Amino acid sequence: MQSLLILIPIALVFVVIAIGIFFWAVRSGQYDDLDTEARRILFEEDPAKQAPSAIEENDSVSSKK
């Protein structure tokens, strides 16, 4: 019974933190556009089909890392 006196306030603190993080994510726009990111992985173009300047740009970025 005494453990409930400790566990209930801890659980309430976790709930308040989780709700705070959720509302922060909503306000910062994390859930604004869910469809574009879900489709991006399905329709990514092949690098061979990109313009030559885009391929050179990707190579120069990857060589800098």
50: left (phi over 0), alpha (psi -120 to 50) or beta: beta
pLDDT at 60: 58
53: left (phi over 0), alpha (psi -120 to 50) or beta: alpha
pTM beyond 0.85: the answer is no
Domain borders along the chain are 2-64
pLDDT at 5: 94
* pLDDT at 40 exceeding the cut of 90: no
pLDDT tens per residue across span 46-63: 666 655 555 555 555 555
